[in-house]
Structure 1
Amino acid sequence: MTIRRLCGVLRVRGAADLLLVLLLGAGFAALPVFALLPSLWGFAAASAVTYLVDEVLHSRAPGFVRRLATLQLTRPLRFAVRTVMVLALASRMDAPDEVLVAALAVFSAHFALMMLYTAVHHAVRRRRVLPLVVRNLDMSGLPVPKQPPAVLYRRFLRKLLHLDLPAHAGLLAALAAGTWGPAYAGFALTVGVTVAGVLALLGQYRRVRRMPARDEVFAEVNRQLAGYRPEVALYFSFASVSRDFMYQVNMWIETLEQLDLRPVIILRERASFRYLSRTWIPVVCVPKADDLAELELSDVRVVLYPGNAGKNVHMLRVAEAKHVFIGHGDSDKLASSNRVSKVYDEIWVAGRAGRDRYQRVRHAISDSAIVEVGRPQLSPIRLHAEHTPGPLPVVLYAPTWEGWSDDDCHTSLIPMGVPLIEKLLAENVRVIYKPHPLTGKRSAEAAAADKAIRELLRADNEQRGAAEAQTAVAEAKPRLQEIQARLDELAGRLGGDDAEQLRESRVPDRAGAAEWQELRAEWHRIFWETRGPVRHNVILKQLPSLYECFNQADILISDVSSVVADFVASLKPYVLTNAQDLPDDDFRATYTTAGGAYLLDRDCTRLPEILNAVRPPHTDPMTLDRRTLKEYVLGPDHPTSMERFNAAANALAERAAAERAERESEGGGSGGASGGASGGAELAA
């Protein structure tokens, strides 16, 4: 079995982590040997190795730690094994019976207190779970107790288990010295600190017993919403937990903030708040459907959906509002012309291409339900004419992911990703590699290709002598972290659990938008300047943003996805991967965005010819095709897409209000868009 395969089985990243795993195993294997010999110093060394390596692996290789847990080799069990072995050592070294009995009693008491602490901690955490979480509403009137101090609340098991160290160290010191005072001192310290921790947490439990009831929480949130009176809602539920999955919401925030209507954002998963961008818009996260029905949304006329998810039905049942699918990108994938979209009142697309795409879904979507609104979020993308080339052509490779099924698998990573990067490196270009956030979630082959590409780029950076860039990167890191911390603060990513987030929620100062933009611009400037003009970059986090990667690139290589449609806005040359080697005419007829693209075959034989498009003298025969395609895919430049989006929202809101007024005049009732007024029992079903 190769080292790479062994790393995969053990879920570690490389040879260094594999060595740590072997050290951990060797340390635990040595404990009974040294205990039975007995060898005090050998046991002390092996015990120290197991403590230290265990701790390091929790930080470096969490996947391996989880693998141990699935084999029932949990952290408490590993600590228990170490405890049994130290008692065996003491017995073999003829420690007095009273010392052994005291040690057994202390270690037993420590584990019993740890169980009690865990039970109280779980009780505290359960009581602090509220039915919803909000941001940008003033919740200071709700009596939510502060979260317990981090020293008591976060990673508590890790801290409790390590409280056995004084007892272990004291017993080993006593065995070495032949006097038992150090053992009793260690025992007293272990028990004393553990008891103090349990008592402190019990005090915190008394405080959380005064948590507000569910009805109080909803009454206060609805009071705040009634004062704000939201008119348009962005509703989002994600299909898979991922650090960057919230881009589907974040891309629409600035657009929502510019609407004439008052917006609100409704989320369905608690994890969403961790990755939500900065906004002054009120945000409400309601995990349960029956709780969603309790929200006061009677003024909401339009609901926008950036994704198709099963939980959308909980909001679609609100008949008083108009429901619009806006998507999270305009691509030639099935998701961008799904028959499921028929459930919405309208479908907003970027340009004529989106309308035509839906028209190909015969007998499903009415043409009158499709509205062309452009892509307002593309304004940060610089045009080709504004781009200043560097010493090397910059190629952005941004493959899509493997999809939920093979039918929707458009990624080039599996069939051609690695050879593509190898040939790019042979062409002496600078590569920016930005894989989809969900890459490797379904396919082990995609994950392996992604890893191989990163390794190729790392190795090539070393050959290029990027030592100066590495130094610059290290020097800039503190400033980037400082900026990121401030961005997180502006985004409302405060420390603490959900209850603490709700407790600290306030109406934000809208002036923070200027500081947010300035800090993001500074972050990107520092990031790209310190990377130098020749170093390859692997982009895995939210920053640098996709559009900033667009601005750095001379040419894009990507798959059928919304990334390509957005890149069209720059008018720069781009390449679509044709991994199935379809005839060019068939490929262009199937995929709209191929109309202005260079097509790359599976073996990448066309790559040198394509790269000539970005090398002097810039012979680029696709220039006119891209200009034509831009308007077809993204709509006209005038009126602006923001103006068209805003007009579409206003028109639909007026239509919803008119229809409601007509129903009321006919005696149909005045039920608002809140679940309580429109059938809470039905929503909860």
Structure 2
Amino acid sequence: MMIRRLCGVLRVRGATDLLLALLLGAGFAALPVCALLPSLWGFAAASAVTYAADEALHARAPGFVRRLATLHLDRSMRFALRTVMLLALAGRLDAPDAVLVAAFTVFGAHFALTMLYTAVHHAIRRRRVLPLVVRNLDLSALPIPKQPPALLERRFLRKLLHLDLAAHAGLLTALATGARGPAWGGLALTAGASVAAVVALLGQYRRARRMPGRDEVFAQVNRRLAEYRPEVALYFSFAAVSRDFMYQVNMWIETLERLDLRPVIILRERASFRYLSRTWIPVVCVPRADDLAELELSTVRVVLYPGNAGKNVHMLRVAEAKHVFIGHGDSDKLASSNRVSKVYDEIWVAGRAGRDRYRRVRHAISDSAIVEVGRPQLAPIRLHADHVPGPLPTVLYAPTWEGWSDDDCHTSLIPMGVPLVERLLAEEVRVLYKPHPLTGRRSAEAAAADRAIRELLRADNQRRGAAEAEAALAAAGPRLREIRARLDELSGRLRGDDAQQMREARVPDRAAAAEWQELCAAWHRIFWESRGPVRHQVVLDQLPTLYECFNQADLLVSDISSVVADFVASLKPYVLTNPRDLPDEEFRAAYTTAGGAYLLDRACTRLPEILRSVRAPYDDPMAPHRRALKEYVLGPDRPTSLERFNTACNALAAKAAAERAEAIAEQAA
């Protein structure tokens, strides 16, 4: 208990990191003692411990390192303290005055040069910040200098501070042997390397001063957009947690690529730009609202919004275009029938369930503004009839997160997540656990339950025989990493800062889409084969995808969320958690997707009965309800969802063009 409490206070993950933190503290506490005694070998040992522990903690426990910084014990201060103690030791051991003066001078100059290097580095970064970032537009005409080499750019402070190692080692050797040569050599190396680093970076600063100006950048980008003439734009903003929310954009990319109209993607946060999936569609990231107004988007007729965000107003003010809320999934949450949606010209939903959901928001949304377009993203989901079961029933547990407030909290993790997984393991099933990307952001209880479930699955994997599984995972690892590297390359995630990505931006080869699909299929095949048919799996990354997890599962257990509505497309049995133990009739009346679901009580007493529907497929009383619910929630199978979505885009674009022509005619008259 004491160790766990100390880990929490120091923000370290376990006993190993706690030991490193204690070693770091003990080492720094020993330095002044050894310097004053004086004890040369004790000081050398303590100094080596602080160096090693410091580096290990930066890699293993960044939370602890940040806690030190809040106490004004950042890395620079720790290096300075170690240097001051070394000089005190040299004075106590009666080092020659010439050596002491030289050491004071070199160490002082070293820290001054480190400050100068930091200032120049920040100046270069500021100059390389452009008002926008693009992908899939040829901007080779812009005179953007190359990014400084990684040797000078990445983790520069760590590299610079460690240049004092030569001086420290030389001075300690001189104190031990009585010879001055090692001290002069070490001090010269430190001084020379520090000066060389600053001179090299100053050369990079001269190049950075030749960055193109704001007007030049916008002129070139607008020239390329005018040549492309985009007609439909996907607009996305989510500043707070853009990395976790980029799935809201990525799920629409393939649909946009197959439209008749020319698409463009507009992002508002630089962080989100780096987590965009593969696409040939031109992408423009414009952080500032004033800059967004300068983009050449006069040909855009339809703007699609996958999320409700405050920055949407910056695009909604474009009166010439039609604005459509498409969302990022149909669910029974409040977000899927938000009154804010009234600001859009139209709201596109998957099926009649979405229309009815908005009807319940009385006097807010006009029924004529609702258009049923289906869910084009669901094509990769295999039907129940095409599924081949494995030796053990596979249960996908995909709980939602705790929501922005308690009113919108539908997660089962807090009240019943851990006992649910314990009961599943007792039933001898294979569990795929895919929590929502935002799990634990608002609730410490949800984060604790998430960790407990992962530990349960890890322990059960060990019980089922880890040696064979680990060998298969190790064998598949290199090929999976190789495919991921190629996928990253095809996705357009170029290395370097934003300016470097702008420098290398080109119009992509659309034929790469076929290679992308083949590699994705190969990655998933190798991944699942290496995991085996009985091993539990915790899925946290973008790969494997949610829909590939659907295809692996015999049964879904989830909460009120769009995951359930998407899973309905497979016609496989699914379970909705009922953590508040509402009566079945009341629960089904409140939530549309419960119409075809098995309902699971908080104590999970119904779980064995539910699992019988998987083990004995003919004993599945909810099957006809799922078939009826599929059309109600997702719309008819014919025409296809993609066809309906494309038709809706074309119709609205034609309407926008007609209204614009009419307005021009009125102005002319």
Question: Cα deviation per residue 1:535-558 (whole Å; 9 max; x = unaligned)?
Answer: 111111111111111111111111
Task: Specify the alignment match of 2:559 in structure 1.
Answer: 559
- Contact map agreement 1:244 1:542 (CA 8 A) in 2: no
Percent identity, aligned pairs only? 83
Q: Does 1:56 align with 2:52?
A: no
SS at structure 1 position matched to 2:391: coil
Task: Specify the alignment match of 2:535 in structure 1.
Answer: 535
SS at structure 2 position matched to 1:235: strand
Task: Specify the alignment match of 2:659 in structure 1.
Answer: 659
Counterpart AA for 1:182: P
Q: Does 1:430 align with 2:448?
A: no
- CA distance, structure 1, for counterparts of residue 580 and residue 400 of structure 2: 15
Matches within 5 A, 1:575-594: 575-594=575-594
TM-score, normalisation: structure 2: 0.98
Shift of 1:12: 2.1
Task: Specify the alignment match of 2:605 in structure 1.
Answer: 605
- CA distance, structure 2, for counterparts of residue 20 and residue 114 of structure 1: 27
- Contact map agreement 1:466 1:535 (CA 8 A) in 2: no
Shift of 1:331: 0.5
Task: Specify the alignment match of 1:419 in structure 2.
Answer: 419
Mean Cα deviation higher: 92-101 or 179-188: 92-101
Counterpart AA for 2:428: N
Matches within 5 A, 1:3-42: 3-42=3-42
SS at structure 1 position matched to 2:348: strand
Task: Specify the alignment match of 1:400 in structure 2.
Answer: 400
- CA distance, structure 1, for counterparts of residue 631 and residue 16 of structure 2: 52
SS at structure 2 position matched to 1:468: helix
SS at structure 2 position matched to 1:642: helix
Shift of 1:618: 4.8
Question: Cα deviation per residue 1:304-337 (whole Å; 9 max; x = unaligned)?
Answer: 0000000000000000000000001110000000
- Contact map agreement 1:337 1:361 (CA 8 A) in 2: yes
Question: Cα deviation per residue 1:142-195 (whole Å; 9 max; x = unaligned)?
Answer: 000000111111111111111111111111111122212111111111110111
Question: Cα deviation per residue 1:651-674 (whole Å; 9 max; x = unaligned)?
Answer: 0000000000111111179xxxxx
Shift of 1:427: 1.1
Task: Specify the alignment match of 1:343 in structure 2.
Answer: 343
Shift of 1:16: 2.1
- CA distance, structure 2, for counterparts of residue 173 and residue 515 of structure 1: 59
Gapped regions of structure 2 (runs ≥ 5): none
Question: Cα deviation per residue 1:584-637 (whole Å; 9 max; x = unaligned)?
Answer: 111100000001111111111111111111113551111111111011000000
- CA distance, structure 1, for counterparts of residue 535 and residue 483 of structure 2: 23
Shift of the 605–3 alpha-carbon distance from structure 1 to 2, 3 Å rule, reads farther
- CA distance, structure 2, for counterparts of residue 4 and residue 249 of structure 1: 40
Shift of 1:139: 0.3
Shift of the 267–655 alpha-carbon distance from structure 1 to 2, 3 Å rule, reads same
Counterpart AA for 1:431: V
- Contact map agreement 1:226 1:296 (CA 8 A) in 2: yes
Counterpart AA for 1:542: Q
Shift of 1:242: 5.0
Counterpart AA for 1:17: D
Count of aligned positions: 669
Task: Specify the alignment match of 1:648 in structure 2.
Answer: 648
Mean Cα deviation higher: 53-62 or 372-381: 53-62
- CA distance, structure 2, for counterparts of residue 655 and residue 528 of structure 1: 47
Mean Cα deviation higher: 148-157 or 220-229: 148-157
- CA distance, structure 1, for counterparts of residue 40 and residue 460 of structure 2: 49
- Contact map agreement 1:242 1:437 (CA 8 A) in 2: no
Shift of 1:30: 2.1
SS at structure 2 position matched to 1:666: helix
Q: Does 1:108 align with 2:108?
A: yes
Mean Cα deviation higher: 9-18 or 276-285: 9-18
Task: Specify the alignment match of 2:158 in structure 1.
Answer: 158
Task: Specify the alignment match of 1:188 in structure 2.
Answer: 188
Shift of 1:419: 1.1
SS at structure 1 position matched to 2:330: coil
Mean Cα deviation higher: 8-17 or 507-516: 8-17
Matches within 5 A, 1:494-509: 494-509=494-509
Counterpart AA for 1:45: A
Task: Specify the alignment match of 2:334 in structure 1.
Answer: 334
Shift of 1:42: 2.2
Counterpart AA for 2:322: K
Q: CA RMSD in A?
A: 1.2
- Contact map agreement 1:243 1:437 (CA 8 A) in 2: no
Task: Specify the alignment match of 1:265 in structure 2.
Answer: 265
Matches within 5 A, 1:674-685: none
Shift of the 242–321 alpha-carbon distance from structure 1 to 2, 3 Å rule, reads closer
- CA distance, structure 2, for counterparts of residue 40 and residue 625 of structure 1: 81
- CA distance, structure 2, for counterparts of residue 208 and residue 187 of structure 1: 32
- CA distance, structure 1, for counterparts of residue 588 and residue 343 of structure 2: 30
- CA distance, structure 2, for counterparts of residue 336 and residue 457 of structure 1: 33
- CA distance, structure 2, for counterparts of residue 160 and residue 533 of structure 1: 50
Task: Specify the alignment match of 1:317 in structure 2.
Answer: 317
Shift of 1:61: 1.6
Task: Specify the alignment match of 1:172 in structure 2.
Answer: 172
- CA distance, structure 2, for counterparts of residue 376 and residue 90 of structure 1: 73
- Contact map agreement 1:612 1:618 (CA 8 A) in 2: no
TM-score, normalisation: structure 1: 0.96
Task: Specify the alignment match of 1:90 in structure 2.
Answer: 90
Task: Specify the alignment match of 1:491 in structure 2.
Answer: 491
Shift of 1:83: 1.0
- CA distance, structure 2, for counterparts of residue 154 and residue 19 of structure 1: 28
Shift of 1:39: 2.2
- Contact map agreement 1:138 1:505 (CA 8 A) in 2: yes
- CA distance, structure 1, for counterparts of residue 14 and residue 611 of structure 2: 34
Mean Cα deviation higher: 651-660 or 45-54: 45-54
SS at structure 1 position matched to 2:667: coil
SS at structure 2 position matched to 1:244: helix
- CA distance, structure 2, for counterparts of residue 102 and residue 574 of structure 1: 75
Task: Specify the alignment match of 1:677 in structure 2.
Answer: none
